[in-house]
Amino acid sequence: MKKQAVVLVSGGLDSATVLSMAQAQGYECHTLSFDYGQKHNAELQAAQRVIDAQKPASHRVMSIHLDAFGGSALTDSSMSVPETESDGIPNTYVPARNTIFLSFALGLAEVVGAHDIFIGVNAVDYSGYPDCRPAFIEAYEALANLATKEGVEGRPFTIHAPLIEMTKGEIIQAGTNLGVDYAATVTCYQANAQGEACGRCDACRLRHQGFLDAGVQDPTRYVEGFEWSNV
């Protein structure tokens, strides 16, 4: 039997790259996406396009209503997404998001017999998010091996975060070499219903700069009238 992995897929550029990396390493991949009340449903449609293109062994979408908690500009309709760079932890931080996502991935890994979990966190561009840092990933792996039947019985889990120290340009270069179709992905924090990006939020700026740095043409679909040459 091929070795099994669980891969978190958001519909963004990073997780599409991670999925292609896991597949290139020979893993049979079980993907997991989340409907967590995010304002930009374009994300889930993008995840489905990534799945259609990269064809993992299984795919599940879990509905978890983090919007019931509030506290983030990504889920709380009373908060707006910032269009300027901010210091410290941005208000687009969703409380405990990656902790929650990894916990579901861990449960699924136990059920499908996987000992490898892949997540596309990145500490370079998202240094303001505590749950994107190497120390968090290490602590999660330690937890996973105490939390589970497999872990305590000596068949440990590995949490793979292959992008964690890569720049956006390096990620795009790596994914392009593996054949990832980035036109399928959506990164924008406030993409519209057609999946078109705003070009103005932090996420759009980081993504576009990544394509420039990688020397790859930016395939992103932006809202009508938007041109980087006018920014």
Give yes or no for residue 133 binding a copy of itself (CB under 8 A). Answer: yes
Beta bridge partners, 6, equal 30, 117
Decide: 15 and 7 in contact? Cβ < 8 Å: yes
Binds a copy of itself (CB under 8 A): choice among 57, 62, 124, 223: 62
Give yes or no for residue 60 binding a copy of itself (CB under 8 A). Answer: yes
- The set of residues, in sequence order, having a beta carbon less than 8 Å from that of 124 and lying 6+ positions away, is 165, 166, 167, 168
- Nearer of residues 34 and 189 to a copy of itself, judged by Cβ: 34
- The set of residues, in sequence order, having a beta carbon less than 8 Å from that of 57 and lying 6+ positions away, is 4, 28, 29, 30
Q: In a 3-state reduction of DSSP, which class is residue 19? A: helix
Binds a copy of itself (CB under 8 A): choice among 52, 55, 77, 111: 111
Give yes or no for residue 66 binding a copy of itself (CB under 8 A). Answer: yes
Binds a copy of itself (CB under 8 A): choice among 118, 126, 136, 182: 136
Binds a copy of itself (CB under 8 A): choice among 2, 26, 135, 230: 135
Two tokens at 21? 């990396």
Two tokens at 2? 């091929």
- Nearer of residues 99 and 192 to a copy of itself, judged by Cβ: 99
Give yes or no for residue 143 binding a copy of itself (CB under 8 A). Answer: yes
Residue 55 Cα distances to 25, 50, 52, 180, angstroms: 15, 8, 6, 12
Please return the burial class of 68, using the count of CB atoms within 10 Å of its CB with bins 0-12, 13-18 and 19+. exposed
Binds a copy of itself (CB under 8 A): choice among 38, 98, 187, 220: 98
Q: Quote the least distance from Cβ 175 to a copy of itself, whole Å.
A: 27
User: Segment near a copy of itself (CB under 8 A), from 144-152, 162-170, 182-190, 213-221?
Assistant: 144-152
Binds a copy of itself (CB under 8 A): choice among 82, 130, 156, 169: 130
- The set of residues, in sequence order, having a beta carbon less than 8 Å from that of 38 and lying 6+ positions away, is 74, 75
Rg (C-alpha) for the chain, rounded Å, is 17
- Nearer of residues 69 and 228 to a copy of itself, judged by Cβ: 69
- Nearer of residues 134 and 215 to a copy of itself, judged by Cβ: 134
Decide: 61 and 44 in contact? Cβ < 8 Å: yes
**Interacting residues with a copy of itself (CB under 8 A):** 60, 62-66, 68-71, 89, 93-100, 102-104, 106-108, 110-111, 130-131, 133, 135-136, 139-140, 142-144, 146-149, 151-152
